[in-house]
């Protein structure tokens, strides 16, 4: 600690100016605090929905003051935009290349999509319940904001690929193109979202993420009819 000499000869400890109350420190600690707030917001949004979650509730969940939340996120809309950019966009992009990678193999493409949904839902426990609450539900805030910012490019790409496969005779023509992608999401994300409610169900509580993926792929690729023997 640096010591100053005053004109009268008194030693005064020269210290850095004190931070304002409630203002987070910069550097790594500030980044960790911001991440902690984002995780708290995602947990609450998944548990009770975006509409019913205030910034004050997020502060309580994270164990900080409301001022701390407002320092990083001025409004709830600002926080939602951050979540879309930093958490949902990477997941969205991870799905975007599947139809291009398996351009001529619809079974491989749809299998990869189903497995990717399960992987995402398993890695991020907030994803499936938040999808149910605020993407597929009427008035879902997240769906509306994502459409406003990014449109329906991914859905249109998937729809175009499905229509082309049907036209080329590679995919069952009886399937409804506008429902197939959503059907895959339902087959994978709904069971993952319902998982916590199954813990007391003697039949379902043993269903693992791998079982959900296997079931979805089998239903999409083979349907409900009996498996025909080869040859």
Domains annotated for the chain, with CATH where assigned, are 25-74 (1.10.10.60), 81-220 (1.10.357.10)
With CA atoms as reference, report the closest residue to 168 among 96, 223, 106, 221.
Answer: 106
Please enumerate in sequence order all residues whose Cβ is within 8 A of that of 159, keeping only pairs 6 or more positions apart, or say none.
Answer: 177, 178, 181
pLDDT at 6 over 60: no
Could you tell me the pTM of the whole model?
0.74
User: For 139-164, what is the mean pLDDT?
Assistant: 83
How crowded is residue 31: how many other Cβ atoms within 10 Å of its Cβ?
11
pLDDT at 28 over 70: no
Which position has the token pair 């966009």?
89
Least-confidence region, from 31-35, 37-41, 44-48, 148-152: 148-152
How high is the pLDDT of residue 205? 61
With CA atoms as reference, report the closest residue to 124 among 79, 77, 87.
Answer: 87
Summarize pLDDT for 89-119 with one digit per residue, the tens. 888 777 767 888 899 999 999 889 888 899 9
Please enumerate in sequence order all residues whose Cβ is within 8 A of that of 94, keeping only pairs 6 or more positions apart, or say none.
Answer: 116, 120
């Amino acid at each position: 600690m640096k010591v100053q000499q005053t004109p009268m000869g008194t030693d005064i400890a020269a210290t850095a100016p004190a931070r304002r109350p409630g203002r987070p420190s910069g550097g790594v600690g500030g980044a960790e605090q911001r991440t902690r707030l984002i995780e708290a917001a995602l947990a609450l949004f998944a548990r009770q929905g975006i509409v019913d979650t205030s910034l004050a509730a997020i502060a309580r969940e994270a164990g900080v003051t409301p001022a701390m939340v407002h320092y990083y996120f001025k409004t709830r809309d600002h926080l939602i935009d951050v979540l879309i950019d930093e958490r949902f966009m990477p997941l969205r992009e991870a799905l975007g290349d599947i139809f291009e990678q398996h351009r001529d193999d619809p079974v491989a493409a749809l299998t990869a999509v189903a497995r990717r949904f399960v992987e995402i839902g398993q890695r991020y426990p907030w994803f499936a319940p938040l999808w149910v609450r605020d993407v597929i539900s009427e008035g879902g805030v997240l769906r509306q904001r994502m459409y406003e910012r990014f449109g329906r490019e991914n859905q249109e790409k998937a729809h175009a690929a499905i229509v082309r496969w049907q036209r080329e005779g590679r995919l069952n023509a009886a399937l409804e193109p506008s429902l197939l992608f959503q059907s895959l999401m339902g087959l994978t994300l709904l069971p993952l979202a319902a998982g916590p409610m199954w813990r007391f169900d003697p039949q379902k509580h043993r269903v693992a993420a791998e079982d959900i993926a296997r079931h979805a792929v089998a239903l999409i690729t083979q349907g409900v009819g009996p498996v025909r023997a080869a040859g």
